[in-house]
C-alpha cells in the first residue's frame, strides 16, 4: 500500500486511513491508492463494510489547492466518489477535525457519515472563487435541503457536528475513539443488511423545495456578491440539483467548476489563501515568550476594541485608564458591544458573561506589573506616547512585550524612550479592533525576534491575520492609503464628484469608496493628522472647519439625515468644490472612470512597489493581505500587487508616466521595482 493510505482490518470491517499531513488534502498521491483500495475492497467478499478515516488532526480538508491551474492527474475526486457509489456493502466516513470541500464530497460519496463531537463540516470552495466540484452542490441538498445547502455553500461557513446531525448530514455523533465507534457503527449496519442507498439515490431533502423561497434567498445572496462570480455559480448549481436529474445537475456543476477554476477571480482568491499563510512565516523563527495576561492602556474606541479582541481569544485583560470615570465609560461600551452581539444571536449570554469576566479595570500602572504583553492605545501624539512608555518601562516585568497601537508614529523613537527597545514593537489594529481581521505587526529596528514570533503566533490565536512590516510613516497600509488619496482633491477640483469617484470604487468591488469611507471613519482624524504635519487639503479642511466630520456629525462629503448611515448627495458640497476650483482657476471637465482608477489605484500600486524596494514589507503578497484584510480591497482581485499583474504592469507604467508628466507629482514616478516587474512578471527583487 502507499505511505498516504493505510488499510487495516477489524474483523470483517476494513478501515482505509488517509495520511497526508498536515490537512489530508486529496492530492494525486492520495487519490490513486484510495481508488485502487476501494475497487479491491468492493470486490473482496470477505469485507462486510468499509470505513474511511484520516490520521492526524483532521479529516480531509479538501482537494489539494496547489494542484489547481495544472493538468489534473487521474483519478479525479469525481471518479472516486462515483466508484464509492458502486459499492453495495456499507461505506462509512469517520469525520474528525474538519471535513471541508472535497473532503466532505468524499464523505457524501459514502452511504453513512459519523462525526466526532468537535468536528466541523463545510464546503468553503466559494472562498477560493470556486464551487464544490466533486458533486457537493448536487449531493448536499439531497440530505439537508436546498435552502440549507444554499446557505452552507454560498457562505462557505462550516457547521458543527451537532448541527450537521440535526440537518441529516451526519448519521451519528460520537465522543472518544472515533474509529472504533465508526467500525462498530459499520458492523451494526452491515449486520442489519442493505440495500444501502447512496446519497445520489436519496432526495428526502429535495422534497417540497419551495423554489420561490429558494430563488428569493439566492437573489439576496447574489446582491451581496459584489461582482464575485462564485457565489452566483454556487446558487445556480444548487438550484440545478432541485430542478434537474442527478447526472444532468452533476454535469452542469462540472461545467461551472471548469469555468471558475480558470478564472482570474479564483486565481486571485487562491493567491490570498496561500498569501495569508506565508505572511505568518518569519525568517529565522525563534522561541516564543509565554503570554498569560494582557494589559491595554486606554479604554477609548481602539483600546476597548483591542481589549475585546484579547478577551474573545480567552486572554485575561487588565484595562487601564487615567480616571475612574473614563474606565467605567470604556467598560460600559464594551458591555454594550457584547449585548449587541447577544441581541444579534452571534453570542450567547453565557459567552458574554465569560468574556466580561476576563476584564480587570484599573487606573494604577502598578496593576500592569503581571502582564506579559501591554498594548498602548492612547492619543496619537509622540510626547504622550513617550510618557506612557516611560511609565511602562518602570512597572512592566522583565520580558514583557511593550506594544504601541500607533497607526503612523515612529516606533523606533518610542522604543528609544525605554531601557528595553528589544521588547518594543507595533501592534496596529484596525477599527473596530474586535472585528477587523488585519493586524499590522511593526518590527522596530531593535525588536527581538522572539518578541516578534510571540505576537505573530498570538495574532493567530485571537483570529487575526498578521503581517509583519517595518517602520515608516503609516507603515504599509496607511502609507499606501495616502498615495491612493493623494489625487482625490485634484479629481474633485477638476470636475469629478464624491459620488462619481465612490461609484468607480464600488464598481471595482470595494464595499465603499474613499469619500464614504472618510465620512464613516471621521474626517477630523485626517484633518488633525494633516495639521500636525503642516499639510492641507482645501476641500476636506473646509468641510472640517464647518464641523462636517462625516457620519458622526450627520454631514461630511455626504448628508446623513436623522442619524441614517445612508449617504445622500449634498448640493452644498458640490457648490463648495466648484467655488474652491474657481478660486484656483480650475475649469471643471468630464473625468472618466479609467482616469479615476489611473490616478488612485496606480499610485497605490506604485507606492507598494516602493515599500517592497525599501524592505518595509517582506513580500508582495504581504501587501495584498494588508489591503484585502484591512482596507476592503476586493478579494476577487487578489490585492493591489496581484491585481497589477492582471491589469498589466506595462500599461500601469505608461499611464503613471503620463500623469507624472502632467502633474510632476512623485506618486506617479514609476518605482524601479514596478519597471522590473513589468519586465520579469515577478515582484521578487531578484526576479
Ligand atoms: N490544499 C493544499 N494545501 C492546504 C490545503 C488544501 N486544501 N489546506 C491547507 N493547506 C496547507 C496550508 O497552505 C498550510 O501550508 C498547511 O496546509 C496548514 O494549513 C473539488 C474544489 C483545514 C481549516 O478551502 O481552511 O476541495 O503554510 O495553516 O489554520 O470541491 O487549512 O504550512 O505550507 O491553514 O490549522 C476546499 C482549506 C479546497 C480548506 C486548517 N478546502 N484549508 O487550518 O492550518 S477546494 C478548503 C483550510 C476543494 C473540491 C474543491 C485550513 C484548515 P503551510 P493552515 P489551520
Q: Which residue has the cell 501624539?
A: 381
Residue 78 near residue 145 (C-beta atoms within 8 A): no
Residue 24 near residue 30 (C-beta atoms within 8 A): yes
pLDDT at position 416, please? Answer: 97
pLDDT at position 442, please? Answer: 98
Question: Atom 40 of ligand 1 has which residue's CA nearest to it?
Answer: 23
CA distance 683 to 4: 36
Handedness of CA 444, 447, 449, 453 (dihedral sign): negative
All residues at 6 or more sequence positions from 192 whose CB lies less than 8 Å from its CB, including other chains: none
- With the most atoms of ligand 1 within 8 angstroms of its CB, the residue from 20, 23, 120, 156 to mutate is 23
Q: Read off the C-alpha cell for 227.
A: 461582482
Residue 424 near residue 389 (C-beta atoms within 8 A): yes
User: What pLDDT band is residue 459 in, cutting at 50, 70 and 90?
Assistant: very high
Kindly give the pairing relationship between strand 438-442 and strand 424-429.
antiparallel
Single out the residue of 152, 121, 127 nearest to residue 137, CA to CA.
152
pLDDT at position 333, please? Answer: 96
pLDDT at position 373, please? Answer: 98
Q: pLDDT by residue (tens digit) across 34-58? A: 999 999 999 999 999 999 999 999 9
pLDDT at position 493, please? Answer: 97
Query: Looking at residues 268-278, what average pLDDT do you find?
Result: 98
Q: Is 125 a catalytic residue?
A: yes
Q: Is 494 a catalytic residue?
A: no
Question: Atom 43 of ligand 1 has which residue's CA nearest to it?
Answer: 23
- With the most atoms of ligand 1 within 8 angstroms of its CB, the residue from 4, 18, 21, 22 to mutate is 22
Is the pLDDT score of 687 beyond 70? no
Tell which atom from ligand 1 comes closest to the C-alpha of 123.
Answer: 36
Query: Looking at residues 119-134, what average pLDDT do you find?
Result: 98
**509 Cα–ligand 1 center, Å:** 26
Tell which atom from ligand 1 comes closest to the C-alpha of 274.
Answer: 13
pLDDT at position 504, please? Answer: 98
Is the pLDDT score of 1 beyond 80? no
Is the pLDDT score of 204 beyond 70? yes
Beta strands of 245-297 (E only): which ranges?
294-297
Is the pLDDT score of 283 beyond 80? no
Query: Looking at residues 226-246, what average pLDDT do you find?
Result: 97
Question: Atom 10 of ligand 1 has which residue's CA nearest to it?
Answer: 23
Residue 168 near residue 143 (C-beta atoms within 8 A): yes
Query: Looking at residues 459-488, what average pLDDT do you find?
Result: 96
Is 273 exposed, middle or buried (CB count within 10 Å of its CB: 0-12, 13-18, 19+)? middle
Q: Read off the C-alpha cell for 383.
A: 510626547
pLDDT at position 508, please? Answer: 97
Query: Looking at residues 162-190, what average pLDDT do you find?
Result: 98
CA distance 167 to 665: 60
DSSP secondary structure letters along 134-189: SSHHHHHHHHH-HHHHHHHHHH---EEHHHHHHHTS-SEEE-S-HHHHHHHHHHHH
Q: Which tops the pLDDT comparison, 222 or 459? A: 459
**72 Cα–ligand 1 center, Å:** 18
**Backbone phi, then psi, for 49, in 5-degree steps?**
-160, 155
pLDDT at position 460, please? Answer: 95
- Report CA-CA distances (Å) from 170 to 173, 215, 218, 570: 7, 26, 25, 55
CA distance 416 to 145: 61
Residue 62 near residue 162 (C-beta atoms within 8 A): no
**24 Cα–ligand 1 center, Å:** 9
Tell which atom from ligand 1 comes closest to the C-alpha of 103.
Answer: 26
User: What pLDDT band is residue 188 in, cutting at 50, 70 and 90?
Assistant: very high
Q: pLDDT by residue (tens digit) across 346-396? A: 999 999 999 999 999 999 999 999 999 999 999 999 999 999 999 999 999
- With the most atoms of ligand 1 within 8 angstroms of its CB, the residue from 25, 54, 61 to mutate is 61
Question: Atom 35 of ligand 1 has which residue's CA nearest to it?
Answer: 23
| Average pLDDT score, the chain | 96
Given the residues 76, 85, 105, 380, select the one marked as catalytic.
105
Alpha-carbon dihedral of residues 551, 557, 562, 563, nearest 10 degrees? Answer: -10
Question: What percent of the chain clears pLDDT 70, i.e. is strictly above it?
Answer: 99
All residues at 6 or more sequence positions from 127 whose CB lies less than 8 Å from its CB, including other chains: 156, 269, 273
Looking at residue 38, the DSSP 8-state letter turns out to be H
pLDDT at position 532, please? Answer: 82
Query: Looking at residues 402-425, what average pLDDT do you find?
Result: 97
CA distance 98 to 598: 43
Q: First vs last Cα of the chain: how many Å apart?
A: 42
Tell which atom from ligand 1 comes closest to the C-alpha of 136.
Answer: 30
CA distance 90 to 192: 10
Q: pLDDT by residue (tens digit) across 240-260? A: 999 999 999 999 999 999 999
pLDDT at position 368, please? Answer: 98
Angle between helices 211-223 and 146-155 (to 10 degrees): 10
Question: Atom 41 of ligand 1 has which residue's CA nearest to it?
Answer: 62
**630 Cα–ligand 1 center, Å:** 22
Angle between helices 649-663 and 672-680 (to 10 degrees): 150
pLDDT at position 529, please? Answer: 83
Residue 556 near residue 518 (C-beta atoms within 8 A): yes
Q: pLDDT by residue (tens digit) across 482-511? A: 999 999 999 999 999 999 999 999 999 999
Q: pLDDT by residue (tens digit) across 105-123? A: 999 999 999 999 999 999 9
User: In what helix (H) or strand (E) does residue 333 lie, and over which residues does it extend?
Assistant: helix 324-344
Alpha-carbon dihedral of residues 78, 188, 164, 66, nearest 10 degrees? Answer: -30
Q: Quick count: other Cβ atoms within 10 Å of Cβ 686?
A: 6
**280 Cα–ligand 1 center, Å:** 15
Q: Read off the C-alpha cell for 14.
A: 476494513
Query: Looking at residues 625-634, what average pLDDT do you find?
Result: 97
Beta bridge partners of 361: 319
Query: Looking at residues 171-186, what average pLDDT do you find?
Result: 98
Residue 658 near residue 651 (C-beta atoms within 8 A): no
Look at residue 24 and give its three-state secondary structure. Answer: coil
Is the pLDDT score of 686 beyond 60? no
Question: Atom 37 of ligand 1 has which residue's CA nearest to it?
Answer: 61
DSSP secondary structure letters along 343-361: HHTSS-HHHHHHHHTTEEE
CA distance 529 to 164: 51
Single out the residue of 510, 509, 517 nearest to residue 485, CA to CA.
517
Given the residues 85, 125, 376, 487, select the one marked as catalytic.
125
CA distance 534 to 162: 59
Is the pLDDT score of 285 beyond 90? no
Tell which atom from ligand 1 comes closest to the C-alpha of 257.
Answer: 21
User: What pLDDT band is residue 192 in, cutting at 50, 70 and 90?
Assistant: very high
Query: Looking at residues 7-30, what average pLDDT do you find?
Result: 98
- Give the pocket of ligand 1 (CB within 6 Å): 22-23, 25, 58, 61-66, 77, 98, 100-102, 105, 124-125, 128, 130, 132-134, 136, 274, 277
Q: Which contacts of 31-36 are long-range, i.e. CB under 8 A and separated by 24 or more positions?
A: 31/73, 31/75, 31/76, 31/77, 31/80, 32/2, 32/73, 32/75, 33/1, 33/2, 33/4, 33/5, 34/5, 34/80, 35/75, 35/79, 35/80, 35/83
Beta bridge partners of 297: 320, 376
Q: What is the tally of helices (H) and strands (E) in the chain?
A: 29, 19
**59 Cα–ligand 1 center, Å:** 11
- pTM score, whole prediction: 0.95
pLDDT at position 588, please? Answer: 94
**Backbone phi, then psi, for 397, in 5-degree steps?**
-75, 160
Residue 626 near residue 467 (C-beta atoms within 8 A): yes
CA distance 134 to 52: 17
Q: Which residue has the cell 495520511?
A: 19
**61 Cα–ligand 1 center, Å:** 6
pLDDT at position 231, please? Answer: 97
pLDDT at position 506, please? Answer: 95
**100 Cα–ligand 1 center, Å:** 9
Angle at 625 between CA 258 and CA 133, to 5 degrees: 20
All residues at 6 or more sequence positions from 673 whose CB lies less than 8 Å from its CB, including other chains: 609, 610, 612, 613, 683, 685
Amino acid at each position: 500500500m502507499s505511505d498516504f493510505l493505510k488499510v487495516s482490518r477489524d474483523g470483517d470491517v476494513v478501515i482505509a486511513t488517509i495520511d497526508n499531513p498536515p490537512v489530508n488534502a486529496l492530492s494525486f498521491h492520495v487519490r490513486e491508492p484510495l481508488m485502487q483500495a476501494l475497487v479491491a475492497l468492493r470486490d473482496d467478499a470477505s469485507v462486510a463494510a468499509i470505513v474511511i478515516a484520516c490520521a492526524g488532526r483532521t479529516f480531509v480538508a479538501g482537494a489539494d489547492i496547489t494542484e489547481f491551474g495544472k493538468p489534473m492527474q487521474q483519478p479525479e475526486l469525481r471518479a472516486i466518489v462515483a466508484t464509492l457509489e458502486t459499492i453495495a456493502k456499507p461505506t462509512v466516513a469517520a469525520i474528525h477535525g474538519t471535513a471541508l470541500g472535497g473532503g466532505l464530497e468524499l464523505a457524501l460519496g459514502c452511504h453513512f457519515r459519523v462525526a466526532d463531537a468537535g468536528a466541523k463540516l463545510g464546503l468553503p470552495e466559494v472562498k477560493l472563487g470556486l464551487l464544490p466540484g466533486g458533486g457537493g452542490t448536487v449531493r448536499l441538498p439531497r440530505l439537508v435541503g436546498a435552502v440549507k445547502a444554499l446557505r452552507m455553500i454560498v457562505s462557505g461557513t462550516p457547521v458543527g457536528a451537532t448541527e450537521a446531525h440535526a440537518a441529516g448530514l451526519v448519521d451519528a455523533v460520537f465522543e472518544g475513539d472515533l474509529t472504533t465507534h465508526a467500525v462498530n457503527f459499520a458492523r451494526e449496519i452491515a449486520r442489519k443488511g442493505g440495500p444501502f442507498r447512496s446519497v445520489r439515490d436519496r432526495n428526502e431533502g429535495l422534497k417540497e423545495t419551495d423554489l420561490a423561497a429558494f430563488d428569493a434567498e439566492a437573489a439576496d445572496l447574489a446582491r451581496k456578491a459584489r461582482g464575485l462570480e462564485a457565489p452566483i455559480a454556487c446558487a445556480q448549481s444548487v438550484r440545478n440539483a432541485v430542478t434537474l436529474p442527478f447526472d444532468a445537475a452533476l454535469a452542469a456543476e462540472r461545467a461551472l467548476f471548469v469555468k471558475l477554476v480558470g478564472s482570474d477571480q479564483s486565481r486571485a482568491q487562491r493567491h490570498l489563501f496561500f498569501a495569508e499563510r506565508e505572511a505568518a512565516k518569519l525568517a529565522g523563527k525563534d522561541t516564543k515568550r509565554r503570554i498569560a495576561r494582557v494589559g491595554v492602556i486606554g479604554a477609548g474606541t481602539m483600546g476597548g476594541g483591542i481589549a475585546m479582541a484579547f478577551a474573545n481569544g480567552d486572554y485575561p485583560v487588565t484595562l487601564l485608564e487615567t480616571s475612574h470615570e473614563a474606565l467605567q465609560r470604556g467598560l460600559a461600551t464594551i458591555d454594550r458591544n457584547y449585548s449587541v452581539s447577544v441581541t444579534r444571536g452571534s453570542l450567547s449570554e453565557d459567552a458574554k458573561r465569560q468574556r466580561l469576566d476576563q476584564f480587570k479595570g484599573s487606573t494604577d500602572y502598578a496593576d500592569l506589573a503581571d502582564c506579559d504583553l501591554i498594548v498602548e492605545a492612547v492619543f496619537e501624539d509622540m510626547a504622550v506616547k513617550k510618557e506612557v512608555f516611560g511609565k511602562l518601562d518602570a512597572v512592566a516585568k522583565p520580558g514583557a512585550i511593550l506594544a504601541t497601537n500607533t497607526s503612523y508614529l515612529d516606533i523606533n523613537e518610542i522604543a528609544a524612550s525605554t531601557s528595553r527597545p528589544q521588547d518594543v514593537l507595533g501592534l496596529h489594529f484596525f477599527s473596530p479592533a474586535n472585528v477587523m481581521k488585519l493586524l499590522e505587526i511593526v518590527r522596530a529596528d531593535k525588536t527581538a525576534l522572539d518578541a516578534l514570533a510571540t505576537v505573530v503566533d498570538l495574532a493567530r490565536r485571537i483570529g487575526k491575520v498578521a503581517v509583519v512590516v517595518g517602520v515608516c510613516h503609516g507603515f504599509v497600509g496607511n502609507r499606501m492609503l495616502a498615495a491612493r488619496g493623494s489625487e482625490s482633491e485634484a479629481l474633485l477640483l477638476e470636475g469629478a464628484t464624491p459620488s462619481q469617484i465612490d461609484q468607480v470604487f464600488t464598481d471595482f468591488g470595494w464595499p465603499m469608496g474613499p469619500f464614504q469611507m472618510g465620512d464613516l471613519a471621521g474626517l477630523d482624524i485626517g484633518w488633525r493628522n494633516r495639521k500636525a504635519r503642516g499639510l492641507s487639503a482645501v476641500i476636506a479642511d473646509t468641510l472640517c472647519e464647518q464641523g462636517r466630520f462625516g457620519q458622526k456629525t450627520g454631514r461630511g462629503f455626504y448628508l446623513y439625515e436623522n442619524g441614517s448611515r445612508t449617504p445622500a448627495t449634498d448640493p452644498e458640497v458640490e457648490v463648495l468644490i466648484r467655488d474652491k476650483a474657481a478660486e484656483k482657476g480650475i475649469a471643471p471637465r468630464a473625468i472618466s472612470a479609467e482616469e479615476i482608477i489611473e490616478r488612485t489605484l496606480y499610485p497605490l500600486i506604485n507606492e507598494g512597489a516602493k515599500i517592497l524596494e525599501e524592505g518595509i514589507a517582506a513580500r508582495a503578497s504581504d501587501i495584498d493581505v494588508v489591503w484585502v484584510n484591512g482596507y476592503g480591497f476586493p478579494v476577487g482581485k487578489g490585492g493591489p500587487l496581484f491585481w497589477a499583474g492582471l491589469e498589466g504592469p506595462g500599461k500601469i507604467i505608461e499611464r503613471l508616466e503620463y500623469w507624472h508628466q502632467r502633474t510632476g507629482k512623485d506618486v506617479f514616478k514609476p518605482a524601479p521595482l514596478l519597471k522590473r516587474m513589468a519586465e520579469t512578471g515577478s515582484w521578487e527583487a531578484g526576479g
